[in-house]
Amino acid sequence: MLERRPCKDGTEVTFVLPGEDPPGPVSVVGDFNDWQPGVHTLQPRKDGKRAVVVTLRAETAHSFRYLAAGDYWFNEESADHDGANSRLHT
């Protein structure tokens, strides 16, 4: 799930996943972090889900995917898709 909130520097996008599905650490990787795993790792929230907030420029589009333990890549179901990647519009 994606949550968006306008902010001074653009748009805060919160990437949210269930607490244990998939198991182990999960990162969101995309063109906004040069596809580097571990830069934006989802952390536990009080509601039992995992999330990470990334600030992106407003009115831009970005490709991204999630990377879980065991080299398991997957897409965001609620996002648009561009080939193998999820697509996010701020």
pLDDT band at 83 (very low <50, low <70, confident <90, very high): confident
Placement of tokens 């571990």 in the chain: 38
Residue 20: the pLDDT is 85
Residue 14: the pLDDT is 96
- Given a cut of 90, whether residue 5 has pLDDT beyond it is yes
What whole-number distance in Å separates Cα of residue 59 and Cα of residue 34?
A: 19
Name residue 83's amino acid: G
The first and second tokens of residue 18, run together, are: 């269930």
Estimate to the nearest angstrom the gap between the alpha carbon of 50 and the chain centroid: 11
Query: Domain coordinates of the chain in residue numbers?
Result: 2-78
What whole-number distance in Å separates Cα of residue 41 and Cα of residue 29?
A: 9
Determine the 3-state secondary structure of 57 from DSSP. coil
Predicted structure pTM score: 0.91
The architecture CATH gives domain 2-78: Sandwich (2.60)
pLDDT tens string 20-74: 889 999 999 999 999 999 999 999 999 999 999 999 998 899 999 999 998 999 9
Average pLDDT, stretch 70-87? 92
